[in-house]
Chain A
Amino acid sequence: MNSALLVNIARFMLLLAAQILIFNNMNLFGYINPYPYILFIILYPVNGNKTGLLLASFLLGFILDMFCNSGGVHAIACLMLAYYRPYIFKFSFGLSYEYQTVKLNDVLTPERFSFLLIAVVLHHFTLFLLEIFRITFLLEILLKTVLSTLFTLLVSVIIIYIIKPSKR
């Protein structure tokens, strides 16, 4: 129990630091950034404390908003992802996902990939919709969502493979 908590706190800090220091400054093609900090919400234990996840997600988004001068858009996107996470689990892994031990940070199977994809798209679409906040820019919102999703997925899969737990 305690070690899980520590792992989560470490993940929170490290992903936040990496996002602010590295990934926010990538600016691929001038404006595309990956957002792999949401791995914290994605990799949070399936049977972990739900309220804790909600509060931690809010805090994660809120801190990032402070650094990005973006009001509350990251906070909303993170909250949405944290709240709808169980539904995405149900969709990707079937109804009985709570009884199987779903482990995300392992070899990439179609189920795991579909979970990752839906989670990232949900987060990014909410994020860019609220960040741009003008319906006349709908095309830009969609374009940004698609490009950033691809980039985030790539970076996330690499991170998952790198920090895979050593004991198999």
Chain B
Amino acid sequence: MQQIFIFIFKNSYRLLFLLLLVVSFVFTVQSHSYHRSQVIGSANFLSGGVYAEINSVSEYLSLKKQNEELAQENARLKSIIFNEKDTTALPKLDSVKGVRAADIIVSKVIHNSYNVYENYLTINSGELAGVKPDMGVINSAGIIGIIDKTSKNYATIISILNVKSAINAKIKKSNHFGSLVWNGKSTGFVQLIDVPRLASVRKGDTIVTGGQSVIFPENIGIGTIEKIYIDNKTNYYTLDVKLFNDMTNLGHVYILKSKDREEILNLEKKEDE
């Protein structure tokens, strides 16, 4: 017993090093695993608060661009409304359920990241605003990512520029599905993999979200096909998709709150049992 104590006392420095190393290694491995991503993310009051303060200063630098984007989106939405027969009527509610299928929470990116392989964004709304993990996030141009961790006032998003992210997507014209991943090379491009060889794909075709997940509704824009090649291993198409979004410059985002989500998830859970 005494010798154990002597050993511990003698090597206390080395043991402390090993202890701290093991602790941080566990955090690292957990952050790389698919299911349980970061243990300690930036969605806490300290880093979230700091990023919110920084953002309140730096957002002035991009106000002009933000304004232009909002005006353009407004113009697009107005053009949809003006082409309706009755321009004053509000969009009808779903008469069966009495509620709309999706609700939108508006939020703002306070910290953007795009220079590593596993990118996370931080936004300034959290549980208090109704944000929950696994909700989809989009902006006026296209999809951004999926909510990962939430705290009271902040949340982190797994960006589509994250090698861990995989989102169900399809070719708008032909309805062929694939999954959207990122190879970590360029911030302007993501890859649509596992597209069947039967699909007729052409450069310039639009890629949109597929309706197979509860996270994103169908037909939200992602990007256009830039390059087509055949994966040697799987013999499926791999498509380089040029994003509609500029992921290096993000401002306001919309979080999609699907009304049917709980119901579908509960149903699927029952199926599993």
Contacts and interface: CB of A to CB of B under 8 A. Distances in A.
Interface of A: 20-21, 27, 30-33, 50-51, 54-55, 58, 61-62, 65-73, 75-76, 79, 83, 130-134, 137, 140
A58 B22 CA distance: 12
Given A20-B50, A76-B28, A137-B184, A70 B116 contact: yes
A58 B24 contact: yes
B187 to A, nearest CB: 7
The 4 A-B residue pairs with the shortest CB-CB distance in the complex, in nearest-first order:
A71-B31, A72-B27, A72-B24, A75-B24
A81 to B, nearest CB: 12
Interface string B171-214: 00000000000001001000000000000000000000000000
Contact of B28 (A30, A50, A67, A71): A71
Interface in B118-134: 118, 120, 122
B113 A69 contact: yes
Contacts of B50: 20, 67
B104 interface: no
A131 B23 CA distance: 16
A130 B187 CA distance: 21
Given A27-B115, A75-B24, A76-B24, A69 B38 contact: yes
A31 B23 contact: no
A32 B115 CA distance: 7
A55 B42 CA distance: 22
Contacts of A68: 42, 113, 116
23 contacts: A20-B50, A31-B116, A33-B115, A51-B13, A62-B40, A65-B24, A66-B44, A66-B46, A68-B113, A69-B38, A69-B113, A70-B28, A70-B116, A71-B27, A71-B31, A71-B39, A72-B23, A72-B24, A75-B20, A75-B24, A79-B17, A83-B17, A131-B117
B54 interface: yes
B12 to A, nearest CB: 8
A165 B243 CA distance: 50
A75 B27 CA distance: 10
Interface in B19-54: 20-21, 23-32, 38-42, 44, 46-47, 50-51, 54
B47 A61 contact: no
Contacts of B151: none
A132 B117 contact: yes
B21 A76 contact: yes
Given A32-B115, A54-B16, A68-B116, 11 more contacts: A21-B54, A27-B115, A30-B114, A33-B115, A51-B13, A62-B24, A69-B38, A73-B31, A75-B20, A75-B27, A76-B28
Nearest to B46: A66
Contacts of A67: 42, 47, 50-51
B41 A130 contact: no
